[in-house]
Amino acid sequence: MDIKDYGKHLSSPFLKKALKIHSDARKFMGDFLKEGRDFIEIPPVIISGITDPLNHPTTKSQVEVYGYKYELTKSMIFHKQIALHTLDKIFAFSPNIRLEPEERKETGRHLIEFTQIDVEQKNATREEVMDLAEDLIIYTISKILEKDSDILDSFNRKLSVPKKPFKKITYTEALAKYGKDFETKLSKEAKEPFWLIDIHIMEREFYDREDPKRPGILRDMDLIYPEGFGEASSGGEREFELEQIYKRISKKGQTPEQFKWYIEFAKEYGLVPSAGFGIGIERFVRFVCGAKDVRDVTLFPKAPGEYFPI
């Protein structure tokens, strides 16, 4: 985006209204978790010696400080697990840097800098956090409909409050019925958000817990928006046993050295069982506003493969 296009973007009434929705979405999500469910908001981590490896390739973004290398946060998954040593229910509005492949520029869903509300609860099951996420989405959409209906009307956006429980489809079922591109097809067909559950072990990172009763299947889930808006959230139960973690790291062709400080921490203090999820805020706002592209609802939109110096 050059400076002239950015000027047009900044002065568009659409952006101004979308930013109001963004601000309200953060408030309602935070209120729901803090006041409704006793979660504690923790500060985000920007640089660290450990970050999410992610299941897809991104360019490493690194800073060197005092001769030591830190990575910019791709997600706070490891920090959430560590924070559960002192708090039971946590969340952060976590800015993430993911230098996504260039071909993701026009997906309508990818930025290289975005924020997720990243939630984790000690000793929770997948089902418990799915229920929590449903309530969070329902509460936030209800409040936005209450407070910002004039904005949604001006966008001609018809949005309804989703009904609980959201439908579920397993990864195996989705793949068999719709082929590799199941997410896009299912999302286009759907009228309400739905869950994709039981994702296969090689499709996710080592920290999503393998179902002890069903080897190769994870105790995890994605939330998918309807109307073709695609993925809203990923989450699940976490691996907390060191032996399992070693096994999973090696299964992915990774080495424990890549996660040195996480492993050191786990060896010294152990990890606690937990489950959680992260919801991308910009994608949520895009869905609520019915926008074509996540860039259209973002104040400083940085798209994959693009130089945008502001």
How, if at all, do strands 230-237 and 220-225 pair? Answer: antiparallel
Near ligand AMP by CB under 6 A: residue from 280, 288, 297, 301:
280
Considering only residues 125 to 164 of the shown chain, the ones binding ligand AMP according to CB under 6 A are: none
The whole-angstrom separation of Cα 208 and Cα 52 is: 12
Give yes or no for residue 236 binding ligand AMP (CB under 6 A). Answer: no
**Count of C-beta atoms within a 10 Å radius of residue 261:** 12
C-alpha torsion sign, points 256, 262, 264, 268: negative
Please name the residues in contact with 13: beta carbons below 8 A apart, sequence gap of 6 or more: none
Span from 125-133, 230-238, 250-258, 266-274 in contact with ligand AMP (CB under 6 A): 230-238
- Least distance from Mg ion to the Cβ atom of residue 193, Å: 14
Give yes or no for residue 110 binding ligand AMP (CB under 6 A). Answer: yes
Minimal CB distance to ligand AMP: which residue?
A: 280
Cβ-based nearer residue to ligand AMP, 106 or 153: 106
- Least distance from ligand AMP to the Cβ atom of residue 92, Å: 12
Residues that bind Mg ion (CB under 5 A): 234
Give yes or no for residue 298 binding ligand AMP (CB under 6 A). Answer: no
CA 86 centroid distance within chain: 23
How, if at all, do strands 167-170 and 47-48 pair? Answer: unpaired
* Distance from the first to the final alpha carbon of the chain: 10
Give yes or no for residue 231 binding ligand AMP (CB under 6 A). Answer: yes
Measured at the CA of 229, the angle between CA 224 and CA 231, to 5 degrees, comes to 35
Give yes or no for residue 73 binding ligand AMP (CB under 6 A). Answer: no
Binding residues vs ligand AMP (CB under 6 A): 75, 98, 100, 110-111, 114, 116, 231-234, 278-280, 282-283, 294
